[in-house]
């Protein structure tokens, strides 16, 4: 099946699985340890049932909304994902172009494989940077300076990565801990000649981090020697709130008290996230945390959520529970891996069509009419 014939995200996932070497697919698809958090992200959506209004004139509907005060075609942002250049050549740029065509903001990862400036040229509906705070704070600071100069309007500081989660699929393939592939992984790569010719000819590089390190420093050694800072705390959040003049989000929140503390520091929003099930196993999902957090923070700051979105109806459920928007992670990546920019466009079009259909079938004519009483 070509990606054009895929009727849902799961079918795009199946195409991506066939096209990619196993180690790449597992990097995209996998979670930590027993993957209970990964499964729980989907289960949180699946538990919710609609209680739709009836006899509502839904002949005129709109999926348009605002996210952090800026217009968007859908209450969704294409969220930050790393190593997209392994899914498709120049994958970050292809995904950013598809996102702009869909009328959505694009959030790039610290560990993406294209320069911020190049992504900014194609992310015309808003560019966000997901920022890790490194042990060497000067590296993070310079990264934010480059983002500001490129026109990035929003930064998401990631708080749930004091140490890396144990992603066992990546250990089995040899991708982790030091990229020493097993024989089985090498043989599997050889069974994907199209991927080898189009993608593997370009060595994966964390180009933005590499640039901030400066000449004479090896980015692989920097990454391999604990670049992430387990001492990150609330004082650091306050410092970055003072330093960054654009919109600032805190990503990795799962508790109402933490959300309130972040709002008091002055963040523009919190992202309820368990890092896509890739960090703490058996953590609750962002959707599990959403009702309490949304009620607690009220209008103090925006509340966004990620993890497990596979349907347009999932986006609608998150909005109904109080989220301003969702962050899309794996769903557009499956499209990217299945067919590049066109595949990512197809994935986003599927979600947009499903969201519009959900509006109609729940008796909602606009995003604002997706309210909590619709869910059981």
Determine contact, residues 118/216, Cβ cutoff 8 Å.
no
Q: Going residue by residue through the chain (376 aa), what tens digit of pLDDT does each one get?
A: 799 999 999 999 999 999 999 999 999 999 999 999 999 999 999 999 999 999 999 999 999 999 999 999 999 999 999 999 999 999 999 999 999 999 999 999 999 999 999 999 999 999 999 999 998 999 999 999 999 999 999 999 999 999 999 999 999 998 888 788 889 999 999 999 999 998 988 777 889 998 988 887 877 777 665 688 899 999 999 999 999 999 999 999 999 999 999 999 999 999 999 999 999 999 999 999 999 999 999 999 999 999 999 999 999 999 999 999 999 999 999 999 999 999 999 999 999 999 999 999 999 999 999 999 999 9
Determine contact, residues 130/92, Cβ cutoff 8 Å.
no
Domains of the chain in start order, with CATH, are 3-374 (3.20.20.70)
Query: What is the helix (H) or strand (E) element at residue 251, kind and residue range?
Result: strand 247-253
Q: How many other β-carbons are positioned within 10 Å of the β-carbon of residue 165?
A: 20
What are the phi and psi torsion angles at 75 (to 5°)?
Answer: -75, 65
**How do beta strands 65-67 and 70-72 pair?**
antiparallel
Catalytic residue positions? Answer: 275
For residue 99, which of 66, 117, 125, 69 has the smallest C-alpha distance? 125
């Amino acid at each position: 099946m070509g990606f054009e014939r895929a009727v849902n995200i799961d079918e795009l996932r199946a195409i991506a699985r066939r096209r990619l070497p196993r180690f790449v697919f597992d990097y995209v698809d996998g979670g930590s340890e027993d993957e209970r958090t990964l499964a729980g992200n989907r289960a949180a959506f699946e538990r919710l049932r609609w209680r739709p209004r009836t006899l509502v004139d839904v002949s005129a509907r709109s999926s348009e909304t605002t996210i952090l005060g800026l217009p968007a075609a859908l209450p969704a942002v294409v969220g930050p994902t790393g190593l997209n250049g392994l899914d498709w050549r120049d994958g970050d740029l292809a995904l950013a172009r598809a996102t702009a065509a869909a009328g959505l903001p694009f959030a790039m990862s610290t560990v993406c494989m294209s320069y911020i400036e190049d992504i900014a040229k194609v992310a015309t509906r808003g560019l966000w940077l997901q920022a890790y705070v490194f042990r060497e704070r000067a590296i993070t600071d310079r990264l934010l300076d480059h983002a500001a100069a490129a026109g990035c309007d929003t930064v998401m500081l990631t708080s749930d990565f004091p140490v890396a989660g144990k992603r066992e699929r990546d250990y089995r393939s040899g991708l982790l801990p030091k990229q020493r592939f097993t024989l089985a992984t090498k043989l599997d790569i050889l069974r994907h000649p199209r991927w080898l010719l189009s993608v593997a000819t370009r060595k994966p590089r964390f180009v933005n981090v590499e640039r901030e390190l400066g000449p004479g420093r090896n980015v692989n050694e920097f990454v391999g020697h604990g670049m992430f800072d387990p001492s990150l705390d609330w004082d650091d959040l306050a410092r970055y709130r003072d330093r960054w003049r654009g919109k600032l989000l805190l990503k990795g929140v799962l508790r109402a008290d933490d959300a309130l503390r972040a709002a008091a520091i002055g963040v523009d929003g919190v992202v309820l996230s368990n890092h896509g099930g890739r960090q703490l196993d058996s953590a609750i999902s962002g959707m599990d945390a959403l009702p309490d957090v949304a009620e607690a923070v009220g209008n103090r700051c925006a509340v966004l959520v990620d993890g497990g979105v596979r349907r347009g109806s999932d986006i609608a459920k998150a909005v109904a529970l109080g989220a301003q928007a969702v962050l899309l992670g794996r769903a557009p990546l499956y499209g990217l891996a299945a067919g590049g920019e066109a595949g990512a466009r197809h994935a986003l079009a599927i979600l947009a069509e499903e969201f519009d259909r959900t509006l109609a079938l729940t008796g909602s004519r606009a995003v604002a009419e997706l309210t909590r009483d619709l869910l059981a």
